[in-house]
């Protein structure tokens, strides 16, 4: 019976009421199948964002992010609001794994709320912050410079140095951080814009640092 419920929960043509019932009453495996099912209604997705099982929330994070592109064009305001609320809940998830999956899935999207992206970009765990910092089109130069100024860990600075492109202002901030790996990444990034005086500063630093 368990196998049957799991198969039912995974079917794309199952009615939303059935999927919501399974989300409320199914085993963790069944709930995870509902979480991965694109046929689940927005209110079911929101319900599962608070599920006690991390695997269920992880499956939901993979799916909901993929629903975002074009969602506002094909769904009503209530569905959109619930979907945003679901994403916000997942972005605050206590499990680093769930937040990391969400960050990886939304890193290239320009259709998600900026405050959500900023929250992930400032996550204390590099595995969450790095994909957003390296790829998100929603982060401005001001956002990036503020994060650099906060004295972030090496992986975070290197992720910013690997963006395409990197502006002159952001390059200046990275060089001022004196973080050798991020400056090295900046130098090999063909899309990094570096002012002449900033390059001179790098050369001066290089004379004092063997790295």
* Main-chain phi, psi angles of 195, to 5 degrees: -65, 155
Q: What is the pLDDT of residue 99?
A: 98
166, β-bridge pairs: 192
CA distances to 131, 147, 178 from 152, rounded to whole Å, are: 15, 7, 12
For the chain, percent of residues with pLDDT exceeding 90: 75
Q: What is the pLDDT of residue 102?
A: 98
Higher pLDDT: 78 or 206? It is 78
- Encoding tokens for residue 48? 């599962």
Confidence of residue 200 (pLDDT cuts 50, 70, 90): confident
Region of poorest pLDDT, from 15-29, 112-126, 150-164, 197-211:
197-211
Residue 2 has pLDDT above 60, yes or no: no
Q: What is the pLDDT of residue 1?
A: 41
Region of poorest pLDDT, from 58-67, 88-97, 154-163, 200-209:
200-209
Region of poorest pLDDT, from 15-24, 87-96, 149-158:
149-158
Q: Region 151-161: what's the mean pLDDT?
A: 87
Q: What is the pLDDT of residue 167?
A: 96
Question: Alpha-carbon distance 105 to 6, whole Å?
Answer: 25
Question: Alpha-carbon distance 131 to 159, whole Å?
Answer: 8
Residue 3 has pLDDT above 90, yes or no: no
For the chain, percent of residues with pLDDT exceeding 70: 93
Q: For 69-112, what is each residue's pLDDT tens digit?
A: 877 666 688 888 999 999 999 999 999 999 999 999 999 999 99
Question: Alpha-carbon distance 14 to 18, whole Å?
Answer: 7
Q: For 105-147, what is each residue's pLDDT tens digit?
A: 999 999 999 999 999 999 999 999 999 999 999 999 999 999 9
Q: What is the pLDDT of residue 177?
A: 86
């Amino acid at each position: 019976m368990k196998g049957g419920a799991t198969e039912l929960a995974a079917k794309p043509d199952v009615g939303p009421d059935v999927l919501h019932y399974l989300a409320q009453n199914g085993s963790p495996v069944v709930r995870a199948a509902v979480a991965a099912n694109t046929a689940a209604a927005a209110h079911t997705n929101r319900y599962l964002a608070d599920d006690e099982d991390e695997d269920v929330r992880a499956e939901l994070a993979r799916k909901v992010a993929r629903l975002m592109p074009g969602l506002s064009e094909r769904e009503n305001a209530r569905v959109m609001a619930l979907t945003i609320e679901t994403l916000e809940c997942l972005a605050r998830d206590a499990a680093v794994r769930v937040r990391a999956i969400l960050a990886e899935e939304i890193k290239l999207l320009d259709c998600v709320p900026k405050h959500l992206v900023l929250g992930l970009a400032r996550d204390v765990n590099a595995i969450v912050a790095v994909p957003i910092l390296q790829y998100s089109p929603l982060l401005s130069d001001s956002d990036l410079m503020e994060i650099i100024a906060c004295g972030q860990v090496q992986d975070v600075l290197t992720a910013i140095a690997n963006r395409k492109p990197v502006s002159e202002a952001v390059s200046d901030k990275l060089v001022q951080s004196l973080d050798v790996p991020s400056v090295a990444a900046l130098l090999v990034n063909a899309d990094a814009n570096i002012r002449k005086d900033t390059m001179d500063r790098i050369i001066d630093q290089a004379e004092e640092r063997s790295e």
